[in-house]
């Protein structure tokens, strides 16, 4: 996080100024507006480096090109947290822990990052502040938990909880990827088969049709298939340009704020997959908020961090709106219920947890429930997709084969009818 100086006006028109830490200027402005201030000016404190969204600070001696490859796998990050917590709990100093972790880091990128963090910590920075220089690697959740552990003197417990969270998150992601692997492979195989039939086999049949003199009397399915084959064989570059243009426009639109919201809304409304995406988002919300609360992070800061870690903008906005309502004195369950994105069971369990003072435990149970629901949905989805993809592949190949053989059948039938007409009474002489 960076430190900013700000000037704003309160609800009475009085000018106020102050200093605050935030991920970037936009986050600070949004936070001040939620408190009822009208922001006039935000500037970086002296000595601060501007935080570029999505860009990581470079370690000493690193170049801009090398920073592009600074990526760390989720499983490596989970192992890093677990080993860090074990050594720190055993009484090893913070700098010594980082030295050992750098030596046994499984990737060059992680070694460079740990080395930079160690240098920053030795220079007097806190661990959370040093990690915040790498937003591509350490999320807001990660940095928030580390900061809470440092302030509360329970860094080892916080790192253990963080390792557990990362392991559960990786487990969920692996299940989703493995469930989607088979359908994607079948789809790729189907595309390859169709392209092979249309570009190599169908042109041979077209030559046969011309030799038989029936190229002008082809049925509609064959004509459509021939048009598609001509496009792929003679104007493949046009087809490729159209495909690349469509993909490029879609990616550019999805990267815009409006496009991202439309895409996230669509992901929640898709048949079958919409419910799965919704359950995954609810599981992630519950697990993240529970981990933050049990680590001692205040509820408002925890909800702000949680909304920033969710990949779906629609649900993240609902959590941000709920945070504003909670700051104004409402219970947690009411604004979540009004959003229409949280099922009654989730709302009731959160309400009960708030009333009994066990909100973190209730959220953990909700996360366990929805992770189980995701597992069951993935199993049933995989079982249903396998025969569906096979039937779809068979239907596509069957359509191509029938379209190719229909003219031949018609030609053979015409020849047989002609021979019968030439022979009186249908008998050969």
**pLDDT class of 270 with cuts at 50, 70, 90:** confident
Q: What is the pLDDT of residues 89-99, one digit of tens each?
A: 888 888 888 88
Q: What is the mean pLDDT of residues 232-238?
A: 80
Q: DSSP letter at 57?
A: P
Residues 31, 112, single domain; the answer is no
Nearby residues of 108 by Cβ (< 8 Å), 6 or more positions away = none
Highest mean pLDDT among 33-47, 206-220, 234-248: 234-248
Residues 101, 10, single domain; the answer is no
Residues 193, 316, single domain; the answer is yes
Whether 398 maps to a domain, the answer reads yes
Count Cβ neighbours within 10 Å for each residue of 63-77 and write b for 16 or more, e otherwise: eeeebeebebeeebb
75 phi and psi angles, rounded to 5 deg: -70, -35
Per-residue pLDDT, 60: 44
Q: What is the pLDDT of residues 109-167, one digit of tens each?
A: 888 888 888 888 888 888 888 888 888 888 877 887 888 778 777 788 888 888 888 88
Residues 232, 295, single domain; the answer is yes
Range of the domain at 130: 64-138
For 274-283, 299-308, 349-358, which range has the lowest pLDDT when averaged over its residues?
299-308
Residues 37, 81, single domain; the answer is no
Whether 53 maps to a domain, the answer reads no
Whether 253 maps to a domain, the answer reads yes
Whether 11 maps to a domain, the answer reads yes
Maximum alpha-carbon separation in the chain: 115
> What percent of the chain lies above the pLDDT cut of 90?
2
Whether 147 maps to a domain, the answer reads no
Whether 49 maps to a domain, the answer reads no
194 conformational bin, left if phi > 0, alpha if psi -120 to 50, beta if neither: alpha
Residues 166, 24, single domain; the answer is no
Residues 125, 157, single domain; the answer is no
Residues 171, 106, single domain; the answer is no
Question: What residues form DSSP beta bridges with 3?
Answer: 21
Residues 219, 321, single domain; the answer is yes
H-helix or E-strand spanning residue 278: helix 273-294
The answer to whether residues 167 and 78 touch, using CB atoms and an 8 Å cutoff, is yes
Report DSSP letters for 208-223, one per residue: HHHHHT-TTS--HHHH
The answer to whether residues 197 and 397 touch, using CB atoms and an 8 Å cutoff, is yes
Domain of 283, CATH number, reads 1.20.81.30
Residues 81, 20, single domain; the answer is no
Q: DSSP letter at 415?
A: H
Whether 421 maps to a domain, the answer reads no
User: Is 309's pLDDT higher than 90?
Assistant: no
Q: What is the pLDDT of residues 352-392, one digit of tens each?
A: 988 888 888 898 899 889 888 888 888 887 777 778 878 88
The answer to whether residues 145 and 155 touch, using CB atoms and an 8 Å cutoff, is no
pTM for the model stands at 0.63
Whole-angstrom distance, CA of residue 145 vs CA of residue 270: 34
Q: What is the pLDDT of residues 47-85, one digit of tens each?
A: 454 444 333 344 443 434 344 456 778 888 888 888 888
13 phi and psi angles, rounded to 5 deg: 90, 5
Q: Say which residue, 272 or 188, is predicted with more confidence.
A: 188
Closest by Cα among 309, 280, 350 to 144: 309
How many structural domains are present in the chain?
3
What mean pLDDT value characterizes the chain?
79
Q: What is the mean pLDDT of residues 405-419?
A: 71
Per-residue pLDDT, 49: 47
Q: What is the pLDDT of residues 14-29, one digit of tens each?
A: 777 777 777 667 677 7
The answer to whether residues 278 and 268 touch, using CB atoms and an 8 Å cutoff, is yes
53 phi and psi angles, rounded to 5 deg: -55, 130
Whether 68 maps to a domain, the answer reads yes
Q: What is the mean pLDDT of residues 302-330?
A: 85
User: Is 246's pLDDT higher than 90?
Assistant: yes
Residues 327, 397, single domain; the answer is yes
Residues 311, 354, single domain; the answer is yes
Q: What is the pLDDT of residues 186-211, one digit of tens each?
A: 788 888 888 888 888 888 888 877 77
């Amino acid at each position: 996080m960076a430190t900013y100086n700000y000037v704003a006006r309160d609800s009475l028109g009085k000018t106020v100024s102050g200093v605050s830490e935030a991920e970037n200027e936009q986050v600070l402005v949004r936070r001040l507006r939620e408190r009822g201030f009208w922001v006039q000016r935000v500037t970086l404190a002296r000595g601060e480096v501007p935080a570029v969204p999505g860009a990581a600070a470079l370690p000493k001696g690193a170049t801009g090109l090398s920073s592009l490859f600074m990526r760390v796998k989720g499983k490596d990050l989970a192992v890093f947290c677990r080993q860090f917590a074990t050594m720190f709990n055993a009484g090893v100093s913070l700098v010594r822990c980082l030295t050992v972790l750098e030596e046994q880091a499984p990737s060059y990128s992680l070694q460079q990052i740990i080395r930079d963090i160690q240098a920053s910590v030795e220079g007097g920075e806190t661990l959370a502040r040093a990690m915040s220089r790498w937003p591509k690697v350490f999320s807001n959740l990660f940095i928030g938990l580390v900061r809470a552990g440092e302030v509360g003197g329970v860094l080892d417990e916080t790192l253990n909880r963080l390792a557990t969270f990362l392991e559960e998150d990786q487990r969920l992601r692996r299940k989703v990827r493995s469930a989607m692997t088979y359908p994607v492979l079948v789809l790729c195989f189907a595309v390859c088969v169709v392209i092979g039939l249309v570009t190599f086999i169908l042109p041979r049949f077209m030559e046969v049709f011309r030799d038989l003199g029936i190229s002008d009397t082809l049925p509609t399915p064959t004509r459509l298939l021939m048009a598609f084959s001509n496009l792929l064989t003679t104007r493949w570059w046009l087809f490729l340009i159209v495909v690349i243009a469509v993909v490029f426009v879609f990616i550019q639109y999805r990267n815009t704020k409006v496009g991202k919201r439309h895409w996230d809304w669509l992901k929640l409304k898709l048949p079958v997959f919409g419910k799965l995406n919704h359950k995954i988002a609810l599981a992630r919300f519950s697990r993240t908020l529970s981990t933050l609360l049990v680590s001692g992070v205040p509820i408002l800061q925890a909800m702000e961090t949680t909304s920033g870690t969710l990949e779906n903008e629609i649900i993240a906005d609902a959590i941000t709106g709920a945070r504003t309502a909670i700051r104004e004195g409402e219970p947690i369950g009411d604004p979540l219920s009004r959003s229409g994105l949280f099922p009654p069971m989730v709302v009731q369990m959160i309400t009960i947890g708030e009333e009994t003072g066990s909100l973190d435990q209730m959220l953990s149970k909700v996360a366990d429930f929805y992770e189980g629901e995701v597992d069951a949905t993935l199993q049933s989805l995989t079982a249903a997709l396998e025969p569906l993809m096979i039937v779809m592949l068979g239907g596509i190949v069957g359509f191509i084969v029938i379209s190719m053989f229909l003219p031949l059948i018609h030609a053979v039938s015409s020849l047989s009818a002609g021979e019968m007409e030439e022979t009186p009474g249908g008998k050969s002489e």
